[in-house]
Amino acid sequence: MQQELKVTLTETIKILLDEKKFNTLRDILVTMKPYDIAAVFESLQDEKMPILFRILPKELAAETFVEMDDETQEFLIHGFSDSELKEVVDELFVDDAVDLIEEMPANVVKRILRQADKDMRKQINELLKYPEDSAGSIMTTEFIVLSPDMTAEMAIKRIRRTGVDKETIYTCYVTDDNNKLIGITTVKDLLLADDDDAVKDLMEENVISVNTLEDQEQVAQKFSNYNFLALPVVDNENRLVGIVTIDDAIDVLQEEATEDIEKMAAVLPSDKPYMKTSVWGIYKKRTPWLLVLMLSATFTSAIITSFESALSSVIVLSSFIPMITGSGGNAGSQASVSVIRALSLGEIQFKSIFKVLWKEFRVSILCGVTLAVANFIKLMLFDLNGRDNAFLIALVVSLTLIGTIIVAKLVGSSLPLLARKVGFDPAVMANPLISTVCDSLSLLIYFGVATVVLHL
Amino acid sequence: MQQELKVTLTETIKILLDEKKFNTLRDILVTMKPYDIAAVFESLQDEKMPILFRILPKELAAETFVEMDDETQEFLIHGFSDSELKEVVDELFVDDAVDLIEEMPANVVKRILRQADKDMRKQINELLKYPEDSAGSIMTTEFIVLSPDMTAEMAIKRIRRTGVDKETIYTCYVTDDNNKLIGITTVKDLLLADDDDAVKDLMEENVISVNTLEDQEQVAQKFSNYNFLALPVVDNENRLVGIVTIDDAIDVLQEEATEDIEKMAAVLPSDKPYMKTSVWGIYKKRTPWLLVLMLSATFTSAIITSFESALSSVIVLSSFIPMITGSGGNAGSQASVSVIRALSLGEIQFKSIFKVLWKEFRVSILCGVTLAVANFIKLMLFDLNGRDNAFLIALVVSLTLIGTIIVAKLVGSSLPLLARKVGFDPAVMANPLISTVCDSLSLLIYFGVATVVLHL
């Protein structure tokens, strides 16, 4: 419903823009949220964008700019005069400015930095030094600092005086003379306290903080575990250098989930939305794994070829190959996905590997027997009904299913844990790679069982 | 590093508990976060839990209780006296109480409701009426209400007076005499305003709210799009009935990502962590899809059987079946996962289906040709080197690869969109189901091409 309305509104805005009804447009735009205005921009023709952007009030313009995708941002910057660019840059929070700079080509970056005032330029340069995906790279350096000897009343006054250009005022950080973090307090605590309570008595001293170099995924996971609105970032000497706010943490959680899902489907991860990625860009993300997996299927081909004579004597065996490798692949990916997600959410560690294997072993016996029985009945009643050796062939296929599912579950659950142990990303170990391993193993089991039971 | 420390601390707590050093234990526990204390509980022997719980100060005890898993909660409640249970229930926020009640068996629920005071019991019963996974089911009814004619100073006073037992005080809701939501304002705006500014002049009137029945995933997505800390929930008459806070929205985003991942791997979704789910529970989640997928492989078997005579004359063709179906499955799941994730994040809608198909068609030609060329070279140099008809067989396999990948990408990208259109969950359309469809189609292409090229 709301989706539909947004589309209609976009059409209205386009018509008003064509008719140059700028005052009406401004009245409409100021009632909208930055995220929705950005969506309107992304659907406009290029030449219309600068006109619409100039209609926006300064602060809303900057907030909308932050929500746009890279291409729209770059296009707009190219059309900006220096003073227009300065107006936008002045309104940005430091961490948003850094995000922008990381996505823009070098010549645009130079223009942005030239327009930023000296203090902001210094802060931007500090933040750019941190490695990608670290806490330092997503933090902001604008936050409220209190000293321990202030009273609650003084603290509130300070917040009222300095809060305007801070990304959050609700969590305040208490530091000593050396800028070391000694406690945190919240506006809630300060408001609910008596006016002359001292900050040092109100503050929480057991602060959970993260190091500038800590991985952003772990940082985001802390928000989800502890229900924080902001998390302080400290250097190796425990000096407070920035904070990460919850809106950035949510973005990280979403990005990391997308990355995991992409890796599980053998797609190289990217941080661009699907519709914004070019055909060539998608091709480059997908082909490497397709090639690797195709080449690794050489093993399965070789196994089948080496049993060529056995196959040619009971040719019907080859018709069950896709069902067997498919069931093995599905069983393996079920196990791997369960383990990968539990690793991502911090529910299990490598040391639980034997518990996990023992659990998967029991599950695989239950699953394997269920599938084997169902399959045996199906083969005897339908597929093999009336064939020579129907009973023995059905037995071969059903025994193979049990063996395949046990092996697939054990491989599927242990590979992600081993990957984590040696420092690889467990998600890469998911479906396709595990399928390839399971395919080979299930074929070996199949032909092994067939050779014994059918005396091939 | 921090993980290691937590483990050691758990050991220390166990030793102190054995030695009955309760004062020392209390000193340690009050420095810890509820989430971490809950983790300690979950690793304790059952009979130790009530002892440790009684050491915790009242408020911390309730906060810790909320973070525990169902089994630990249930076990503790069984050991509580009525007055102990009342102490915990009194400290819970209403939405946490509802979460607890939804997980507990009927006899425990009765005990909890008996201990809740009348007002809370009424609120709990209201919330329990909303359907599972709706905005109503995750909202809390404790929030700050202001009236439009208050001044900023009066508003702050009201917050200081009533804020203690509210889950968040930072977003305040302005309602008219009929309890209809007319605006929101924040503590930040109130603090930064002049004392005698009126709330009605400070408030934001274009409020984004959700209906009680809106799906929780869409609610959570709004937090991520608009950077809210809380979102108001209204009934059909736009009367304010509750708010959803960001900590609950994050939990929903995490849960929904897990569910999507599970569905993509043909696992029925559950809301229990992997290590807490019994072998039987995991079996029940995994077997249904394994059975369905195994039975659907009947199609592939039937296709292979119907080409039995062709296969027996060029038996080597069967050795490439796993590679071809595997490549098709992988190519299809790459496309489906990209589309499913874009749907989840609200980046595409059904109306984009032709854009998506045209994009995937171009990608699939690039991918298909790349794989076909690589495969042709490999077959000629290695696998088929020296065989009769090597060139023609390599040609059959390579042409099949191109056709398979085109079909797989088109099927993989369109099925999730169609599923969304007819109201199914797109994630269910992912890997395994698409693999089965792709397997059959790729075999038909394979034998079709082979029949023509090799004159079988």
**Min distance A116 CA to chain B CA atoms (Å):** 25
Over residues A359-380, the mean pLDDT reads 94
User: B313 and chain A: CB distance < 8 Å anywhere?
Assistant: no
**Min distance B425 CA to chain A CA atoms (Å):** 16
Answer whether residue A26 shows pLDDT above 90. Answer: yes
User: pTM of this prediction?
Assistant: 0.82
Test B289 with A260 for CB contact under 8 angstroms: no
Test B305 with A295 for CB contact under 8 angstroms: no
**What is the percent of chain A with per-residue pLDDT over 90, rounded to a whole number?**
48
Over residues A411-433, the mean pLDDT reads 83
Which amino acid belongs to residue B268?
L
Cα A7 from chain centre: 28
> Which of B168, B170, B245, B318 best probes binding to A when mutated, by most A CB atoms within 10 angstroms?
B318
Task: Decide: B164 and A192 in contact? Cβ < 8 Å.
Answer: yes
A213 to chain B: which residues are within 8 Å by CB? none
Task: Decide: A409 and A361 in contact? Cβ < 8 Å.
Answer: yes
Using CA of residue B261, residue B265, residue B271, residue B276, what is the dihedral sign?
Answer: negative
Using CB atoms and an 8 Å cut-off, which of residues 3-22 of chain A contact chain B? 3
Between A344 and A401, whose confidence is greater? A401
**Min distance A178 CA to chain B CA atoms (Å):** 24
**Min distance B433 CA to chain A CA atoms (Å):** 10
Q: Are strands B230-234 and B210-211 parallel, antiparallel or unpaired?
A: parallel
Closest by Cα among A414, A383, A269 to A316: A383
User: A225 and chain B: CB distance < 8 Å anywhere?
Assistant: yes
User: B1 and chain A: CB distance < 8 Å anywhere?
Assistant: no
> Phi and psi (nearest 5°) for B211?
-80, 150
User: B246 and chain A: CB distance < 8 Å anywhere?
Assistant: yes
> Which of B290, B428, B443 best probes binding to A when mutated, by most A CB atoms within 10 angstroms?
B290
Burial (CB < 10 A; 0-12, 13-18, 19+), residue B14, is: middle
Cα B112 to Cα A309: distance, rounded to the nearest angstrom: 70
Test A274 with B355 for CB contact under 8 angstroms: no
Grade residue B69 by pLDDT with cuts at 50, 70 and 90. confident
Residue A430: the pLDDT is: 64
B295 to chain A: which residues are within 8 Å by CB? 374, 378
Test A327 with B290 for CB contact under 8 angstroms: yes
3-state secondary structure of A448: helix
What is the predicted ipTM? 0.81
Cα A73 to Cα B432: distance, rounded to the nearest angstrom: 39
Q: Are strands B171-175 and B145-146 parallel, antiparallel or unpaired?
A: parallel
Cα A120 from chain centre: 29
Closest by Cα among A269, A209, A217 to A239: A209
Answer whether residue A403 shows pLDDT above 50. Answer: yes
Answer whether residue A274 shows pLDDT above 90. Answer: no
For residue range B90-103, what is the model confidence (pLDDT) as tens digits?
A: 888 888 888 888 88
**What is the percent of chain B with per-residue pLDDT over 90, rounded to a whole number?**
48
Select the residue of A287, A295, A443 nearest B367 (Cβ to Cβ). A287
Cα A410 to Cα A417: distance, rounded to the nearest angstrom: 11
**Strand ranges (E), B166-265:** 171-175, 181-186, 210-211, 230-234, 240-245
**Min distance B68 CA to chain A CA atoms (Å):** 12
Residue A313: the pLDDT is: 82
Cα A122 to Cα A94: distance, rounded to the nearest angstrom: 10
Distances (CA, A) of B12 to A80, A284, B17, B126: 62, 52, 9, 44
Where does A19-151 have alpha helices with state H? Answer: 22-29, 34-42, 49-55, 58-67, 70-79, 82-91, 94-103, 106-115, 118-128, 135-138
> Phi and psi (nearest 5°) for B39?
-65, -35
Test A251 with B363 for CB contact under 8 angstroms: no
Test B187 with A192 for CB contact under 8 angstroms: no
Grade residue B434 by pLDDT with cuts at 50, 70 and 90. confident
Between A347 and B320, whose confidence is greater? B320
Answer whether residue B428 shows pLDDT above 90. Answer: no
Cα A2 to Cα A240: distance, rounded to the nearest angstrom: 42
Test A345 with B275 for CB contact under 8 angstroms: no
Test B341 with A262 for CB contact under 8 angstroms: yes
Task: Decide: A443 and A300 in contact? Cβ < 8 Å.
Answer: yes
Burial (CB < 10 A; 0-12, 13-18, 19+), residue B95, is: buried
User: B35 and chain A: CB distance < 8 Å anywhere?
Assistant: yes
**Min distance A90 CA to chain B CA atoms (Å):** 20
On average, the pLDDT of chain A sits at 89
Select the residue of A257, A318, A337 nearest B262 (Cβ to Cβ). A337
User: A334 and chain B: CB distance < 8 Å anywhere?
Assistant: yes
Residue B446: the pLDDT is: 94
Answer whether residue A89 shows pLDDT above 50. Answer: yes
Over residues A151-158, the mean pLDDT reads 94
> Which of A156, A341, A413 best probes binding to B when mutated, by most B CB atoms within 10 angstroms?
A341
Six token digits for residue B261: 């991942």
Answer whether residue B1 shows pLDDT above 50. Answer: no
Residue B52: the pLDDT is: 93
Task: Decide: B379 and B397 in contact? Cβ < 8 Å.
Answer: yes
Six token digits for residue B223: 């937090």
User: B157 and chain A: CB distance < 8 Å anywhere?
Assistant: no
A93 to chain B: which residues are within 8 Å by CB? none
Answer whether residue A3 shows pLDDT above 60. Answer: no
Residue B7: the pLDDT is: 61
Angle at B307 between CA B306 and CA B309, to 5 degrees: 110
Cα A285 to Cα B334: distance, rounded to the nearest angstrom: 10
User: A318 and chain B: CB distance < 8 Å anywhere?
Assistant: yes
B337 to chain A: which residues are within 8 Å by CB? 261-262, 264-265, 267
B288 to chain A: which residues are within 8 Å by CB? none
Six token digits for residue A146: 């209190």
Residue B188: the pLDDT is: 92
Residue B6: the pLDDT is: 58
Test B265 with A333 for CB contact under 8 angstroms: yes
Residue B228: closest CA among chain A residues belongs to which residue?
Answer: A247
Cα A393 to Cα A455: distance, rounded to the nearest angstrom: 11
Using CB atoms and an 8 Å cut-off, which of residues 380-409 of chain A contact chain B? 382-383, 401, 405
Answer whether residue A386 shows pLDDT above 90. Answer: no
**Residue B58 neighbours by CB distance under 10 Å:** 11
For residue range B218-232, what is the model confidence (pLDDT) as tens digits?
A: 999 899 888 889 999
DSSP of A228-265: -SEEEEE-TT-BEEEEEEHHHHHHHHHHHHHHHHHHHT
Which amino acid belongs to residue A13?
I
Long-range contacts of B109-116 (CB under 8 A, 24+ apart): B111/B77, B111/B82, B111/B85, B112/B77, B112/B85, B114/B82, B115/B82, B115/B85, B115/B86, B115/B89, B116/B89, B116/B90
User: B203 and chain A: CB distance < 8 Å anywhere?
Assistant: no
Test B316 with A297 for CB contact under 8 angstroms: no
3-state secondary structure of A389: coil
Residue A1: the pLDDT is: 40
Select the residue of B159, B302, B439 nearest A326 (Cβ to Cβ). B439
Task: Decide: B344 and A276 in contact? Cβ < 8 Å.
Answer: no
Test A273 with B223 for CB contact under 8 angstroms: no
Six token digits for residue A318: 């080859």
For residue range A219-271, what is the model confidence (pLDDT) as tens digits?
A: 998 998 888 899 999 999 999 999 999 999 998 998 888 888 888 877 887 77
Task: Decide: B132 and B191 in contact? Cβ < 8 Å.
Answer: no
Residues near B82 by beta carbon (within 8 Å), at least 6 away in sequence? B111, B114, B115
Cα A414 to Cα A430: distance, rounded to the nearest angstrom: 11
Cα A362 to Cα B74: distance, rounded to the nearest angstrom: 27
Residue A351: the pLDDT is: 87
Test A262 with B333 for CB contact under 8 angstroms: no
DSSP of B148-182: TT-BHHHHHHHHHHH-TT-S--SEEEEE-TT-BEE
Test A366 with B279 for CB contact under 8 angstroms: yes
Six token digits for residue A275: 């519709």
Answer whether residue A7 shows pLDDT above 70. Answer: no
Instruction: Give the residues across from B172 on adjacent strands.
Output: B185
Closest by Cα among A134, A124, A145, A139 to A242: A139
Select the residue of A163, A265, A330 nearest B334 (Cβ to Cβ). A265
User: B423 and chain A: CB distance < 8 Å anywhere?
Assistant: no
Select the residue of B225, B333, B431 nearest A35 (Cβ to Cβ). B225
Residue A431: the pLDDT is: 63
> Which of A363, A373, A376, A397 best probes binding to B when mutated, by most B CB atoms within 10 angstroms?
A363
User: B192 and chain A: CB distance < 8 Å anywhere?
Assistant: yes
